[in-house]
């Protein structure tokens, strides 16, 4: 009669462990709750000889770390799921110094991927009438364009804005991920006018474009469980139902890795490629200075734009784009439509990408083809203009 | 943009397969979506040599059948979960003739155990104000004491009755399991008076015992995923909140395997042990006759009672009780309290156990000890009277 | 601190009064809680002399029976509203013998009309997933075409049927009125095929007509508070949203007063008008016999049809139709479209109108004009065919 | 088919009227929609002669202004109720200059009293998880202790605070009235420590007193419809359920009329009664100066305390207390427990009552007796200490 009771007690105990005690606990999970190599080899050999269903079952039992069952039982406690997510958050902080614990992490990720299967998640529109508890978490979790208090938030929930979040039924007050959308006439090129709390509210019957300007994961302890694709699909479906007149679904996205890449990559691109002005800018960046893009010369603007387009289209990590936001949208089937100079002039925007941002476009006729081309050949789709811009005269 | 869309199409296709086409599909899942034995052996050897987290991850990837990922994706479709459960129901029908498919079944059971983790299930009290859609399913799924229409059901939901069911958040209209409780003065010995639609409704403020008289699993496709323990625990917790004056939590349970056992076991018990009257009864049973326990002699009643108590306490399958209901309640920490002659005189009750039924008692001070004793040593707890009754003078 | 407490105690006391004690209570309400005639006359005179707002206020205070305030306070009790409705139901039973109590009734009706203002009522679609408690009340309250148990009810809630009810927020389990709709291809002429539990369910995407075949008031204690018009309007609005392809909104209505009228009215129509066959039929009716319309001669069918059309179009009570259902739909702006021989062959249908029923048609372009014509001049709209049928060759 | 449609159009038209057009509309309601004095006198005479139920009905029909029916119909529109409340708000602004319109106001108040009968209102606990839309309205409507933004509000919704509001089912986002409660150890004497956003949250299991420190009506257009008594009763009932250990239910209330009274009343109390220091203070007040009570002499503090206690206990408007908050709580059955020097040192508190506030105590054994004594004889209950304090040595 005590599964839930034991789980509650155990989780409360784990929750209260300080860092050294938690280390002991994690080491125990590695040392005592891992599969037995001898038993694994034996089961693998039997399956190799005779791949029957019985042998497969034995093999899988031998391979599953016993800590998996422990985690499953801990979930029986009230708030068990939230506490397991918190436990993984604490585990993640220790991984760099304890590589063996990656196995514990693998177990938790596997569990969470199963439990947070997209079929179980609930799309919820976030409105001003939503619980303040949830709204407060949006303020806290927004990772792209900071929300400066309730007035700022309220503008993002007006009639010409939409906000959607995914929830797990067992965590009704905890958004897993959320996306913010501006309904606009034409595709937006700049984010500050969208965010301004006093900006004029557009009559949503007159819009033709949905601009996705921010998407944020909320739970550090669910890192590696992917929610973005499902959220975008469902948000688009809901927007099409509500506004059949929409003709464009685009993002207005940050370029988080550009400045970092710029600092290191220009050397390898060859010295012919960069101007003296850019060299000076790089020196300032290296010194920790924040340049002001509104005062840059036309030549520098042009040079930086070309480099940024090149970065998005050609800079790679292995076979895929170096930029994480690019990886996400391109894998989803979007394509690179337009680079926007002065698109995000916030401190964060300048720090990330010298004030530039980019529109990815979701064109329904092409999404599946783009997605397949990317998945099979890592092929990136882009507009002609974008491709032209990305052509560097490398020396 | 098409995970859910593809899943929907695929599930619809599978749903529409006729039996031969489904056979082809299942064979494909075995032949093409099983782990590669060579890769498994290699990964197992690497882990044996060096049990690092990387090698463990590779081993687990090698061991997981690719069809697992397929099933996870199918769940993205609307109603995906219901259709996967239905697919397994159809798979189960074919297992006897296709033993290799047990691996598919293992995959589905593993998924379902993860997805239907007790921490995600919702206890719901079933009342007359519950949706008729759900009530109709209770009528359909009741497996112990048939519900003869809406009037019969309504009596089971009156003020001195309780009914609880567990639901998964994605299947809000589909009970997974339900339990029926009579609030009584003293522990009930007979089930027919409880079920009679015209029986007097007792004032629930005057009761002292909760009698669990029926528990039914609802989803054939979830066979092997256990819900009973969680349901009983939560039902008991809710009852204690609502009726602090309750002093006893007992079952009034069927003995499904007694008649079957009786037919085969008496021989092995030795000829001294059975009377001529019982021998005649056994002959009638063998001929498919249904005897009437109300007309049996006192001697026969006494003989059958002793045999039935013996069956519950001593008849085994391996180390555990042969009777499945006994296995369930004894593993949960209940003990054998009392055998009831003429406890269930329905056709089914006579067919199952010649009209006898049994009270298992959940005594809170003892549940944990009973559960541990059963789990570690297969020890069965019973009242002194019950143990005395179970003593056969075997020749 | 005791408004609600006093109200609860008072209502419980009233609820428990037997008939004689209730008589005493009602007499008290008349004798002690009526306006004081002298004070009324004085206030009226003052208002006549000087119709100021102060004098109007005093006049209204003088005129309001003190029992009104009593009733308002009783409503503070939990379930107060239900008990006041029940109190009026009991009052209505005594009105015939106690005409002075009509004043109490006027007070209650005035309160209920205010409290049940259409703006506060909630339209709810009734489905198979609705609470069994509510569904059971539909079975109990259906006044036109009896519902024979749950199987019968279920057919009325299938995909090609709709059922709507109005609720008051304080009485969430008590429908006030409900309407049943069949979605059909073409306007239905006969009710039995619609009601048959085994009738084929039509794909609702293929229908073009919504046939309202039953509408029932539920609360005897709310007699005189009218809900029908609001319910039809909202039901039509919901149907149009759900099925934009619907081209016709018609009723298939009973003719409750025809047989009664026929028995008394033929004499006054002149002896030339009725055939010997009809005279024989009338004699049988007078003797309490139930004739079978399926066996009647073509001549008699024709004669009865003409008389029934005449009844609906020309028989009056004052300036309005004698038939109550006609009064309701014609006042709402419907018009008389078609008389249906053998439209309702149930015992009740034969008893009401010798098996005939009638389609009223709601044509949106005409509803407002019909309503105005009826409201101003008691003008009844009917199809040409119906008007032709209603022409009697009176001798 | 057009009741709701007409009402919608009419209300939209009224809503859009500018002030002069609205004047025309209100004049029309007075001139054309008032009872006919001649018809009233005739009906009153008939009732005087023969007070039958028929004559009473005719009299009441004659007396009811036809605009009542108009208002009832306007309520059929979506948002009709909110718009009628808004219409009355605008009407109230014009009453001072148009006394005849008091009749319209009487009609609306009568309707609203009927529609907002306490039996229909819903108590809702307001929490941090409540809709931000509702929370924002609390910030806007708080009338006693201003809420300075979301952080301030949040403190008022922590574990040791409670907030309750009443709602009408047709206005789910519009609180009608709300009350704020601090759960404290002992009765609070000062309001600023309760309101401070950084004040320590007390463990609610350790409290013994519920201090009601603020109660605000929200809808100007519902002025004269009383909600406070019902709200307090229900809040107390909910608190007792949740915290059975509570031993005191007290208010910490403002004294809104003291400063105003002080300025005018001291003269009439006789010149012996006031000190030179107080005379100087009065002169400063008359000059619009805000004195600082924390710097006042002990003598002045004592003198002001005695005057304030006198004001609460003896200053009258007719037979009832002059102070509106005193009228409210004393009529509800509370009694005057304690005067608190420096109880509310906010600008508003000093302006209202020179920083003093007062505890009214609801003692359950006495509430009904106090209420009756007040209702029948306008008798005010107070603690001995309070009565002593209120004794002035008037010259």
Neighbours of C, requiring at least 3 CB pairs below 8 Å, are B, D
Residue C50 designated active-site: no
Residue B200 pLDDT: 96
Which residues of B are catalytically annotated? 253, 329
Q: For residue A274, what pLDDT band results from cuts at 50, 70 and 90?
A: confident
Share of chain D above pLDDT 90, in %: 80
Residue C51 and residue D37: Cβ atoms within 8 Å?
Answer: yes
Residue D54 and residue C102: Cβ atoms within 8 Å?
Answer: yes
Chain C residues in contact with B149 by the CB 8 A cut-off are 150
Chain C residues in contact with B150 by the CB 8 A cut-off are 132, 149-150
Q: What are phi and psi of A384, to 5 degrees?
A: -55, -45
Give C75's contacts (C-beta < 8 A, 6+ positions apart).
Answer: C7, C81, C84, C115, D117, D118, D119, D120
| Average pLDDT for chain D | 92
Convert the pLDDT of each residue in D53-91 to its tens digit. Answer: 899 999 999 999 999 999 999 999 999 999 999 999 999
DSSP character for A202?
A: P
Examine the pLDDT at A284 and tell me if it is beyond 50: yes
Q: By a Cβ cutoff of 8 Å, what residues of chain D touch chain A?
A: 128-136, 149-150, 173
Chain D closest-CA separation from residue C335 CA (Å): 13
Average pLDDT on C24-40 reads 92
Residue D131 and residue A132: Cβ atoms within 8 Å?
Answer: yes
Convert the pLDDT of each residue in D305-318 to its tens digit. Answer: 999 999 999 999 99
Residue D86 has a CB neighbour count (10 Å cut-off) of: 17
Residue A267 pLDDT: 67
Residue D391 pLDDT: 87
Average pLDDT on D371-381 reads 91
Convert the pLDDT of each residue in D188-209 to its tens digit. Answer: 999 999 999 999 999 999 999 9
Q: Which of B124, B130, B132 to probe by mutation at the C interface, max C CB count within 10 Å?
A: B132
> Which has more pLDDT, C211 or C2?
C211
Measured in whole angstroms, the distance separating CA D260 from the mean position of its chain's CA atoms is: 18
Q: For residue B392, what pLDDT band results from cuts at 50, 70 and 90?
A: confident
Chain D closest-CA separation from residue C55 CA (Å): 9
Tokens of A226: 């992917």
Share of chain C above pLDDT 90, in %: 80
Give C185's contacts (C-beta < 8 A, 6+ positions apart).
Answer: C202, C206, C207, C208, C209
Residue D119 and residue C77: Cβ atoms within 8 Å?
Answer: yes
Tokens of A119: 């079929």
Residue B130 and residue C128: Cβ atoms within 8 Å?
Answer: no
Closest CB from C135, C149, C173 relative to B132: C135
Give the DSSP H/E element, type plus range, for residue C326: helix C324-332
Chain A closest-CA separation from residue D124 CA (Å): 14
Q: For residue B48, what pLDDT band results from cuts at 50, 70 and 90?
A: confident
DSSP string, B238-277: HHHHH-TT--EEEE-B--TTHHHHHHHHHHHH-GGGS-HH
Closest CB from B37, B52, B362 relative to A47: B37
Chain C residues in contact with B133 by the CB 8 A cut-off are 128-129
Average pLDDT on C343-369 reads 93
Residue D189 pLDDT: 97
Q: Is B216 left (phi over 0), alpha (psi -120 to 50) or beta?
A: beta
| Average pLDDT for chain C | 92
Closest CB from B129, B149, B173 relative to C132: B129
Convert the pLDDT of each residue in B327-384 to its tens digit. Answer: 999 999 999 999 999 999 999 999 999 999 999 999 988 888 898 899 889 999 999 9
Share of chain D above pLDDT 70, in %: 97
Residue A101 and residue B54: Cβ atoms within 8 Å?
Answer: no
- Tell me the residue ranges of DSSP E strands in D195-298: 209-217, 248-251
Q: Which of C124, C131, C132 to probe by mutation at the B interface, max B CB count within 10 Å?
A: C132
Residue C129 and residue B130: Cβ atoms within 8 Å?
Answer: no
Examine the pLDDT at D284 and tell me if it is beyond 90: no
Pairing of strands B161-167, B177-184: antiparallel
- Tell me the residue ranges of DSSP E strands in chain C: 122-125, 161-167, 177-184, 209-217, 248-251, 316-317, 320-321, 335-340, 357-362
Chain A residues in contact with B332 by the CB 8 A cut-off are 1
Chain D residues in contact with A135 by the CB 8 A cut-off are 132
Closest CB from D60, D72, D371 relative to C117: D72
- For residue A338, give Cα distances in angstroms to A79, A356, B332: 45, 11, 64
Q: Note the pTM of the prediction, 2 decimals.
A: 0.92
Distance between CA atoms of A247 and A352, rounded to whole angstroms?
30
Distance between CA atoms of D222 and D86, rounded to whole angstroms?
9
Establish how many alpha carbons lie within 13 A of residue B174's alpha carbon, considering only the half-sphere containing its beta carbon: 16
Which residues of D are catalytically annotated? 253, 329
> Which has more pLDDT, A95 or A289?
A95
Q: Which of A36, A37, A95, A249 to probe by mutation at the B interface, max B CB count within 10 Å?
A: A37
Q: Is C371 left (phi over 0), alpha (psi -120 to 50) or beta?
A: alpha
Report yes or no: C382 and C390 within 8 Å, Cβ to Cβ.
yes
Distance between CA atoms of C121 and C108, rounded to whole angstroms?
18
Tokens of A245: 């007149």
Length of chain C: 395
Examine the pLDDT at B1 and tell me if it is beyond 50: no
Count Cβ atoms within 10 A of the Cβ of residue B28 and give its class: 0-12 exposed, 13-18 middle, 19 or more buried: exposed
Distance between CA atoms of A132 and C134, rounded to whole angstroms?
35
Q: For residue A394, what pLDDT band results from cuts at 50, 70 and 90?
A: low
Examine the pLDDT at C395 and tell me if it is beyond 50: no
Q: For residue C1, what pLDDT band results from cuts at 50, 70 and 90?
A: very low
Examine the pLDDT at A1 and tell me if it is beyond 60: no
Residue C272 pLDDT: 61
Q: Which of A132, A157, A175 to probe by mutation at the D interface, max D CB count within 10 Å?
A: A132
Beta-carbon contacts below 8 Å between A and D? 33
Average pLDDT on D125-153 reads 97
Beta-carbon contacts below 8 Å between B and C? 33
Measured in whole angstroms, the distance separating CA D127 from the mean position of its chain's CA atoms is: 22
Distance between CA atoms of A110 and A254, rounded to whole angstroms?
30
Closest-CA residue to C191 (of C155, C219, C159):
C155
Chain B residues in contact with A35 by the CB 8 A cut-off are 47, 51, 56, 59
**Scanning every residue of chain A, which has its alpha carbon at the shortest distance from the alpha carbon of D174?**
A129
Examine the pLDDT at A316 and tell me if it is beyond 80: yes
Residue A367 pLDDT: 87
Chain B closest-CA separation from residue A22 CA (Å): 19
Chain D closest-CA separation from residue A248 CA (Å): 31
Closest CB from C128, C129, C133 relative to B129: C133
Residue D4 and residue C233: Cβ atoms within 8 Å?
Answer: yes
Residue C161 pLDDT: 98
Q: For residue D395, what pLDDT band results from cuts at 50, 70 and 90?
A: very low
Q: What are phi and psi of A162, to 5 degrees?
A: -135, 150
User: ipTM more than 0.95?
Assistant: no
Average pLDDT on A18-37 reads 92
A338 forms beta bridges with A359
Residue D114 and residue C333: Cβ atoms within 8 Å?
Answer: no
- For residue C289, give Cα distances in angstroms to C191, C266, D340: 23, 18, 88
Helix, strand, or coil (residue D187) = coil
Residue C300 has a CB neighbour count (10 Å cut-off) of: 18
Neighbours of D, requiring at least 3 CB pairs below 8 Å, are A, C
Chain D residues in contact with A149 by the CB 8 A cut-off are 150
Compute chain D's Rg from CA coordinates: 24
Distance between CA atoms of C30 and D52, rounded to whole angstroms?
10
**Scanning every residue of chain B, which has its alpha carbon at the shortest distance from the alpha carbon of A112?**
B114
Chain A residues in contact with D133 by the CB 8 A cut-off are 128-129
Report yes or no: B246 and B239 within 8 Å, Cβ to Cβ.
yes
Give B255's contacts (C-beta < 8 A, 6+ positions apart).
Answer: B308, B311, B312, B323, B325, B326, B352, B353, B356, B357, B358
Place of tokens 């995000």: A344
Convert the pLDDT of each residue in B168-216 to its tens digit. Answer: 999 999 999 999 999 999 999 999 999 999 999 999 999 999 999 999 9
Tokens of D387: 């009565």
Helix, strand, or coil (residue D350) = helix
Q: For residue B268, what pLDDT band results from cuts at 50, 70 and 90?
A: low
Catalytic residue among A145, A188, A214, A329: A329
Distance between CA atoms of B62 and B36, rounded to whole angstroms?
7
Pairing of strands A209-217, A248-251: parallel
Report yes or no: B3 and B76 within 8 Å, Cβ to Cβ.
yes
Q: For residue B311, what pLDDT band results from cuts at 50, 70 and 90?
A: very high
Chain B residues in contact with C138 by the CB 8 A cut-off are none
Chain B closest-CA separation from residue C274 CA (Å): 50
Chain A residues in contact with B117 by the CB 8 A cut-off are 72, 75-76, 115
| Average pLDDT for chain A | 92
Give B374's contacts (C-beta < 8 A, 6+ positions apart).
Answer: B330, B331, B333, B380, B381
Q: For residue D267, what pLDDT band results from cuts at 50, 70 and 90?
A: low
Convert the pLDDT of each residue in A219-256 to its tens digit. Answer: 999 999 999 989 999 999 999 999 999 999 999 999 99
Q: Which of C2, C39, C42, C44 to probe by mutation at the D interface, max D CB count within 10 Å?
A: C44
Residue C347 has a CB neighbour count (10 Å cut-off) of: 10
Examine the pLDDT at A156 and tell me if it is beyond 50: yes
Distance between CA atoms of D386 and D326, rounded to whole angstroms?
14
């Amino acid at each position: 009669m005590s599964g839930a009771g034991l789980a509650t007690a155990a989780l409360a105990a784990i929750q209260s462990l300080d860092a050294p005690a938690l280390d002991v606990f994690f080491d125990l999970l590695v040392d005592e709750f891992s599969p037995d190599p001898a038993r694994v080899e034996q089961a693998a050999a039997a399956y190799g000889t005779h791949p029957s269903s019985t042998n497969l079952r034995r093999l899988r039992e031998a391979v599953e770390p016993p800590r998996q069952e422990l985690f499953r039982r801990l979930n029986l406690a009230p708030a068990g799921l939230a506490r397991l997510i918190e436990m993984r958050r604490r585990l993640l902080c220790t991984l760099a110094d304890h590589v063996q614990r990656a196995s514990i992490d693998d177990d938790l990720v596997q569990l969470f991927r199963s439990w947070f299967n997209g079929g179980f998640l609930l799309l919820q529109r976030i409105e001003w009438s939503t619980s303040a508890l949830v709204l407060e978490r949006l303020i806290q979790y927004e990772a792209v364009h900071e929300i400066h208090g309730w007035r700022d938030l309220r503008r993002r929930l007006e009639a010409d804005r939409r906000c959607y979040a995914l929830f797990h039924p067992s965590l009704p007050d905890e958004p897993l991920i959320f996306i913010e959308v501006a309904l606009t006439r034409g595709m937006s090129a700049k984010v500050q006018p969208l965010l301004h709390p006093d900006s004029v509210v557009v009559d949503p019957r007159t819009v033709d474009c949905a601009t996705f300007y921010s998407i944020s994961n909320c739970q550090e302890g669910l890192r590696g469980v992917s929610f973005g694709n499902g959220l975008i699909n469902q948000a688009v479906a809901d927007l099409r139902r509500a506004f059949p007149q929409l003709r464009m679904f685009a993002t207005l996205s940050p370029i988080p890795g550009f400045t970092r890449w710029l600092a290191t990559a220009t050397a390898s691109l060859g010295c012919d490629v960069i101007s003296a002005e850019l060299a000076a800018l790089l020196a300032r960046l290296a010194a920790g200075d924040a340049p002001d893009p509104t005062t840059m010369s036309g030549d520098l603007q042009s040079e930086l734009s070309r480099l940024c387009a090149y970065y998005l289209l050609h800079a790679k990590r292995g076979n895929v784009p170096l930029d994480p936001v690019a990886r996400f949208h391109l894998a989803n089937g979007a394509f690179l439509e337009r680079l926007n100079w002065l698109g995000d002039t916030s401190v964060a925007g300048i720090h990330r990408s010298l004030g530039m941002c980019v529109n990815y476009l979701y064109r329904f006729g092409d999404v599946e083809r783009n997605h397949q081309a990317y998945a099979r050949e890592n092929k990136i789709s882009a507009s002609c203009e974008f491709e032209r811009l990305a052509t560097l005269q490398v020396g």
